[in-house]
Structure 1
Amino acid sequence: MSGELADKVAVITGGASGLGEGLVRRFHAEGAKVLFGDIDSEAGAALAADLGANARFIETDVSDIEQVGRLVSTAVEDLGGLHVMVNNAGVSGKMFLKFLDDDLADFHHVMAVNVHAVMAGTRDAARHMSEHGGGSIINLTSIGGIQAGGGVMTYRASKAAVIQFTKCAAIDLAHWEVRVNAIAPGNIRTAIVRKSATGEDLERLEQFEEKIRAQMRNDRPLKREGTVEDVAEAALYLATDRSRYVTGTVLPIDGGTVAGKVIVRKEKKVDAAGP
């Protein structure tokens, strides 16, 4: 590691597992003081203990934007500032095989976590950054917010909202050298779906998810699977001065999925016996 975030303070929401854990580990390895929040207090405390110095966990439910603000204020007051804010926490909502069966009962919760918390985290971080020389804000969206498709309609709508908000905030906050960008992962295995169902529903939805992933593999130009580390590497770039002239962008980490459909090429057969 090169220590690119030495002497920097970073706040990461949803940092106890999945993509968030990867972000926490990478930023910490690069020298940042990392304050992260999550509703999973056991996993969060374990991760902080594993990383040791310069890693701190606060149990946080981002659906309550006051708790998002507490993360920001704690970083400023206890760690000495805030240079990077990553609004990563997200939920998929309940999955249905058909939209006609969706009761939309989880709409307000999904929007609270995936959109409202992102807006609050961006605002609260920018209030400090605007008075202290700027900073970098990174919002996690999804290729589901870029590319239309069936299923998880509320989730897709929430992630599309994050993209539009990110661009608008980037324009508004550029005056204070606060950069706002989004990362859109695609087909990277985390536990987000498993957290949305239990029992028999979980088994059925995991089978459905696997079918979706198989289709995504077929549609993806790059054939290797994406990893949590791929997302963390992109976030590191956006967090550092290497991207000092980059704002308002949406960076897909998806193996080329949203670029377009795969071209199927048939290999020409060669007759070993010759003409």
Structure 2
Amino acid sequence: MGDFSGQVALITGAASGIGLAVAKKLLADGAQVALLDFNGEALNEHFGSYGVQAHLVAIDITDEARVAEAIQAVHAHFGQIDSLVNCVGITGVTNIKSHEVTSENLHKVFEVNFMSSFYTSKAVLPFMIERRYGRILHIASIAGKEGNAGMLAYSASKAAVIGMAKVQGKEYAEFGITVNALAPAVIRTPLVDAMPEQQVTYMTDKIPMKRCGTLDEAANLVAYIVSPQNSFTTGFTFDLSGGRATY
């Protein structure tokens, strides 16, 4: 692990948080990287200096047709796609009970957190099947395993992401393709910083290590999961929770 020379990675949500940390890690390790995010200005700010090593795509990740077109273009540009890391995500409205959740908010969270991961994996899988090699990682959440009170939309969408990883892991296991999920607890990202402190405290108090995870810890684990060395684990949800989830 640590050498991604000759590898092409596609990362969603690359302009901030875990996606940004993962992108910088894989670029530092020699990968060519396609970076997808709604915030094109932030992509340019963070990756404009990387030249041909980084291919920047400003896109609404919830638009299936545009996602398919963008991934076709990425494949044409680089000639291959070895790995996909789906980092894009929103919490939606939090610190509210289920009967207070609006259908509009629930649909929006599912579109960003679940449907976008379906769209991107659907688009890259034919290329991976053809080469009989691929690594797909969906960033889920500990909330998808346990359910966080006050976060129905987020928890349910991340549970769906975990379910998708299990299904896809089984479906493509014979093609040299691994599909896994990662379930972080609280990682200090802009998404977490925007949440009510009461919600963050509720989540952190459940972590035996009594701290948030770091972006470096997340990026290092992601790099292993999408590396060629991780060749016999698929359909699995990796823990990144400081001991909160041990199953």
Q: TM-score range by the shorter chain?
A: over 0.9
Aligned length: 247
Return structure 1 stretches of 4+ with deviation > 4 angstroms: none
**Unpaired segments ≥5 residues, structure 1:** 196-205, 261-275
Max Rg structure: 1
- 1:232 corresponding residue in structure 2: 219
SS in 1 for 2:171: helix
1:213 aligned to which of 200, 205, 212: 200
CA deviation after TM superposition for structure 1 residue 86, in Å: 1.0
- 2:89 corresponding residue in structure 1: 90
Partners of 1:66 and 1:8 lie apart in 2 by 26
1:214-266: per-residue Cα shift (whole Å, max 9, x none)? 23333212234311111111110111122111111101211111239xxxxxx
- 1:44 corresponding residue in structure 2: 43
**Unpaired segments ≥5 residues, structure 2:** none
CA contact (8 A) 1:137 1:180 kept: yes
SS in 2 for 1:146: helix
CA deviation after TM superposition for structure 1 residue 99, in Å: 2.8
Shift in alpha-carbon separation, 1:26–1:256, aligned structure 2, 3 A: same
Partners of 2:154 and 2:222 lie apart in 1 by 22
1:24 aligns with 2:26: no
1:100-135: per-residue Cα shift (whole Å, max 9, x none)? 322232122211111111112112111100001211
Q: Following superposition of structure 1 onto structure 2, how do residues 172-191 of structure 1 map, counting pairs within 5 Å?
A: 172-191=171-190
Partners of 1:223 and 1:39 lie apart in 2 by 33
- 1:243 corresponding residue in structure 2: 230
CA deviation after TM superposition for structure 1 residue 193, in Å: 5.2
SS in 2 for 1:247: coil
1:169-213: per-residue Cα shift (whole Å, max 9, x none)? 110111211110011111112122566xxxxxxxxxx4xx32232
Scaled by the length of structure 2, what TM-score is found?
A: 0.93
1:259 aligns with 2:233: no
SS in 1 for 2:41: helix
Partners of 1:129 and 1:154 lie apart in 2 by 31
* Higher deviation after alignment, 215-224 or 229-238: 215-224
Partners of 2:85 and 2:68 lie apart in 1 by 13
- 2:210 corresponding residue in structure 1: 223
SS in 1 for 2:183: strand
CA contact (8 A) 2:192 2:200 kept: no
CA contact (8 A) 1:37 1:60 kept: yes
Scaled by the length of structure 1, what TM-score is found?
A: 0.84
CA contact (8 A) 1:11 1:71 kept: no
Partners of 2:120 and 2:101 lie apart in 1 by 29
- 1:199 corresponding residue in structure 2: none
CA contact (8 A) 1:63 1:109 kept: no
Partners of 2:111 and 2:206 lie apart in 1 by 31
Q: Following superposition of structure 1 onto structure 2, how do residues 75-224 of structure 1 map, counting pairs within 5 Å?
A: 75-192=74-191, 206=195, 209-224=196-211
CA deviation after TM superposition for structure 1 residue 3, in Å: 4.6
Shift in alpha-carbon separation, 1:108–1:216, aligned structure 2, 3 A: closer
